[in-house]
């Protein structure tokens, strides 16, 4: 299969030593052996998702029904239960409304009471559906949001859908009692790794996207990685080399507005998977071109403590033509399109960072579509898993997050 993107490195040494990077590549390639074992014995269901179609076929009728029945669908979830869905939805609607014939999808992931009041008000007079996602079925934020909204959304019936583990948990009981539909969340697919399951792909179907293409893009990256090569192996090697060179921050900077949410999905994946035992690096989401005007000064001339990944999409010649300027000082814009300027600014950022000995990886997307996004999802999940193996942490648990949940429940009980 052809990869849905290309990757390249644009950096000067130091800070990354070529010999150290070569050694890290060898270590990362060797680490793929565990992926082949897991893929063969089913020990990590994530690795079987790209080839599956039965689960998608099972939910297509549900998606079609909800599209026909609803003007507005509220997706309730947080963290891994929301960020992947938001990333996919942005391919279809990134702020200007859904394509004709599709419902508006709104992800409700925080418990700010003002937001919940606004959501309730926006639902008045609309045909509303609700999709609540919680792997455990006991996520306090998701359950409290659902319980807050239900009085304002009577008689949802089968327009209320939940995705949760096949256990007797609070979310399953609540939705079943309300006459809703409950879909099973695979207990062996962690929330932040669930975007290629129906957790991410049912919302993708509701947004009118090609879920099969998402998985096809993921499959291409997985196939390369299982051979001990490809961009995930290179990315893990680069990350390991940066950690060993004491670069504690990794910056992901898409130059594609539709990938703004992708940066937030990546941030959780990297931080929650690697930040253990005093290890890991801090992920930062930046956006081009806006962060050229707010962060690039620091990135180029501040502490040399960051690894950069720039994602570029097709731009040159695209978009509206720039009006012929009367001011001769703007002659450089004459005959150009908005995409020409975006491409030039992307190149300028990459080269100005590299010229200052800042390590930069460039991911180039020939198209920003479902296959590309599926490939990016798989790239960063595999890169994260391999990096965790290389630094000796478990990429699938999150003990510090669980501690916070216990304390939050205690403090809520103490309120009078």
Whether 6-35+213-392 shares its CATH topology with 47-210 is answered yes
Q: Which secondary-structure segment (H or E) carries 282?
A: strand 282-285
Q: Sign of torsion, CA 40 41 46 50?
A: positive
Q: Enumerate the active-site residues.
A: 272, 293, 405
Radius of gyration of the chain (CA): 22
CATH class of 6-35+213-392: alpha beta
pLDDT digits (tens, 9 = 90+) for 103-138: 999 999 999 999 999 999 999 999 999 999 999 999
Domain limits of the chain?
A: 6-35+213-392, 47-210
Is residue 261 within 8 A of residue 90, CB to CB? The reply is yes
Any idea what DSSP says for residue 281?
-
Any idea what DSSP says for residue 314?
-
Which CATH architecture best describes the domain 47-210?
A: 3-Layer(aba) Sandwich (3.40)
Residue 251 half-sphere exposure, CB side, CA atoms within 13 Å? 24
pLDDT digits (tens, 9 = 90+) for 249-288: 999 999 999 999 999 999 999 999 999 999 999 999 999 9
Q: Is the confidence at residue 23, as pLDDT, over 80?
A: yes
Q: Is the confidence at residue 187, as pLDDT, over 70?
A: yes
pLDDT digits (tens, 9 = 90+) for 364-382: 999 999 999 999 999 999 9
Q: Which residues contact 352 (CB under 8 A, 6 or more apart)?
A: 296, 300
Q: What's the mean pLDDT in 40-48?
A: 95
């Amino acid at each position: 299969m052809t990869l849905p993107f290309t990757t390249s490195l644009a950096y000067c040494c130091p800070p990354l030593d070529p010999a150290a990077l070569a050694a890290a590549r060898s270590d990362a390639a060797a680490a793929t052996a565990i992926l082949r074992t897991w893929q063969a014995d089913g020990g990590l269901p994530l690795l079987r998702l790209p080839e599956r179609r039965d689960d998608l076929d099972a939910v297509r009728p549900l998606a079609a029904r909800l599209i026909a029945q609803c003007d507005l669908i509220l997706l309730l979830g947080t963290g891994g239960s929301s960020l992947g869905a938001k990333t996919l939805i942005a391919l279809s609607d990134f702020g200007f409304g859904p394509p004709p014939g599709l419902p508006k999808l709104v992800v409700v992931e925080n418990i700010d009471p003002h937001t919940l009041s606004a959501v309730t008000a926006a639902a008045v007079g609309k045909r509303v559906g609700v999709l609540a996602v919680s792997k455990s079925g006991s996520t306090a934020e998701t359950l409290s949001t659902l319980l807050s909204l239900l009085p304002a959304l009577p008689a949802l019936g089968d327009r209320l859908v939940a995705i949760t583990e096949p256990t007797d948990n609070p979310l399953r009981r609540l939705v079943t009692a309300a006459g809703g539909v409950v879909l099973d969340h695979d207990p062996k697919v962690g929330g932040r790794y669930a975007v290629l399951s129906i957790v991410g792909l049912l919302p993708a179907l509701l947004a009118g996207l090609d879920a099969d293409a998402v998985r096809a893009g993921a499959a291409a990256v997985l196939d390369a990685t299982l051979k001990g090569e490809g961009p995930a192996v290179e990315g893990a090697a680069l990350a390991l080399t940066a950690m060993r060179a004491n670069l504690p921050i990794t910056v992901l900077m898409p130059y594609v507005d539709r990938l703004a949410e992708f940066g937030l999905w990546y941030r959780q994946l990297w931080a929650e998977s690697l930040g253990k035992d005093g290890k890991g690096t801090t992920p930062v989401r930046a956006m081009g071109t806006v962060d050229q005007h707010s962060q690039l000064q620091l990135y180029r001339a501040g502490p040399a403590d960051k690894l950069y990944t720039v994602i570029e999409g097709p731009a040159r010649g695209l978009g509206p033509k720039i009006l012929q300027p009367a001011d001769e000082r703007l002659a450089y814009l004459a005959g150009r399109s908005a995409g020409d300027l975006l491409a030039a600014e992307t190149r300028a950022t990459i080269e100005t960072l590299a010229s200052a000995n800042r390590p930069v990886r460039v991911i180039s997307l020939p198209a920003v579509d479902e296959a590309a996004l599926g490939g990016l999802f798989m790239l960063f999940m595999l890169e994260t898993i391999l990096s965790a193996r290389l630094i000796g942490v478990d990429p699938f648990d999150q003990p510090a997050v669980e501690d916070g949940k216990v304390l939050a429940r205690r403090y809520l009980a103490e309120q009078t």
